[in-house]
Amino acid sequence: MTRKVFVAGHRGMVGSAISRLLAKDKNIELITAAHSELDLTSQKDVHEFFAEHTIDDVYLAAAKVGGIHANNTYPADFIYQNLLIETNVIGAAHAVGVQKLLFLGSSCIYPRSVEQPMRESALLTGVLEATNEPYAIAKIAGIKLCESFNRQFERDYRSVMPTNLYGPGDNYHPENSHVIPALLRRFHEAKNLEAPEVVVWGSGKPRREFLFVEDMASACIHVMSLERNVYEANTQGMCSHINVGYGSDVTIGELAFAIAKTVKYSGSIIFDSSRPDGTMRKLMSSERLFSMGWSPSTDLEEGLVIAYEDFLNSPLREV
Ligand SMILES: NC(=O)C1=CN([C@@H]2O[C@H](COP(=O)(O)OP(=O)(O)OC[C@H]3O[C@@H](n4cnc5c(N)ncnc54)[C@H](OP(=O)(O)O)[C@@H]3O)[C@@H](O)[C@H]2O)C=CC1
Ligand SMILES: C[C@H]1O[C@H](OP(=O)(O)OP(=O)(O)OC[C@H]2O[C@@H](n3cnc4c(=O)[nH]c(N)nc43)[C@H](O)[C@@H]2O)[C@@H](O)[C@@H](O)C1=O
């Protein structure tokens, strides 16, 4: 029987990867709407969209997304737009009787000084990282929306918390992007200009865990495919989210050298300590998901090569 699946954010990095995988399944009919066709911050438009389509499952991969600088500079946009998108999509899905939904959160939901690797149970045990607290609060609200609809109305709304992601479809904006797309672009431009050095933000000491976007998409589909009793047995009522990580991390300094190698840039790398480091370490425990039969397949070296190829073929986004 055909299932109608709405991927919100299908033109984004993760949404497009999820859509590509789902499109291989002949029993799935994809439902999509570009940002220009449906503004998910409009409650009226979102409710009308859900009323017009008979949707079985939802992947909520639309969000206001950005790196450390964007989060730190536009906190109001990050909390306001994300709260609206989540409230509208989850609320409208419930209103028309959609039983199954997957919400994408972020590893920044965890306190900034928490035991590493970070387990799901670390949620709401401490103070958040200041550079992205508003975005993190919106993501925590998304988890709690799902859990609350599950508790009160027996819905099956699931949540995954991705680590830092990268890959085809990324945002290569020089300031507002995440570290991998930013550095792919900066090292590439430095190579072309034969610049003697490249500036990397912060001390180079923070550690980050990076997951290739195709692996993230496969994790999303895996989590949605789990039988409800299996998902619920592995999560607990009000701690129902699942971490999605690679399993190991690198320093930003190590990452910068790996990117220089990928791009074939041979100049110097310098670190600008006037830029924020953010959280010093963000390694997730993905044991919960690994024990449910998923594991990543693309390592950082291989993923960077594919990401650089994508950068070379990408029309650059404006935001
Ligand atoms: N990238 C990462 O490293 C990480 C991402 N995540 C989460 O994964 C999910 C996907 O992120 P990612 O794919 O990287 O982000 P992208 O920015 O690539 O994609 C987000 C998509 O959402 C769309 N969108 C944003 N606002 C609206 C709106 N008001 N109405 C309709 N569509 C909208 C965007 O459209 P448009 O571009 O036209 O605005 C875009 O297509 C998000 O929930 C994000 O928080 C979590 C951790 C890390
Ligand atoms: C996914 C995640 O993304 C953000 O948090 P973040 O982990 O700090 O992600 P980031 O990729 O922006 O930075 C990672 C590290 O890298 C350093 N860094 C060096 N040079 C550049 C650089 O050129 N650009 C960027 N962006 N960072 C750089 C930077 O200083 C930091 O130490 C939040 O939005 C958060 O909400 C979130 O969920």
* Whether 14 contacts 217, CB under 8 Å: yes
Q: For residue 237, what pLDDT is reported?
A: 66
Write out pLDDT tens, residues 227-277. Answer: 999 888 877 766 799 999 999 999 999 999 999 999 999 999 999 999 999
Task: Say yes or no to pLDDT of 318 above 70.
Answer: no
Calculate mean pLDDT across residues 283-289: 97
Distance CA 209, CA 248 (A): 6
Cβ atoms of 90 and 77 closer than 8 Å: no
Please give the structure tokens belonging to residue 188.
């590439």
d(CA 285, CA 16): 26
| Predicted ipTM > 0.85 | yes
Residue 280: exposed, middle, or buried by beta-carbon count in 10 A (0-12, 13-18, 19+)? middle
At residue 24, the 3 state secondary structure works out as coil
Active-site residues: which are they?
135
Task: Please state, in angstroms and rounded to a whole number, the distance separating the CA atoms of residues 146 and 159.
Answer: 7
What residue ranges define each of the domains in the chain, with the CATH number in brackets?
3-312 (3.40.50.720)
Binding residues for substrate: 186, 201, 208, 277
Give the model's pLDDT for residue 232.
86
Q: Among the atoms of ligand 2, which is closest to the Cα of residue 178?
A: 11
Q: Nearest ligand to the C-alpha of residue 72?
A: 2
DSSP character at residue 64: -
Q: Tokens 């792919």: give the residue.
A: 184
Q: What is the mean pLDDT of residues 128-150?
A: 97
The answer to whether the beta carbons of residues 102 and 58 sit under 8 Å apart is yes
Q: Is the pLDDT of residue 168 over 50?
A: yes
Q: Is the CB of 39 under 6 A from ligand 1?
A: yes
Residue positions in the annotated binding site?
Answer: 9-15, 104-107, 139, 162-165, 178, 186, 201, 208, 277
What is the pLDDT, as a whole number, of residue 68?
Answer: 98
Judge whether residue 319 has pLDDT over 60: no
Separation of 12 CA from ligand 1 center, angstroms? 5
The pLDDT value recorded for residue 93 is 98
Peptide bond into 117 cis (omega under 30): yes
Q: In a mutational test of the pocket of ligand 2, which residue from 178, 246, 254, 311 has the highest number of ligand atoms less than 8 Å from its CB? A: 178
pLDDT at 304 > cutoff 80: yes
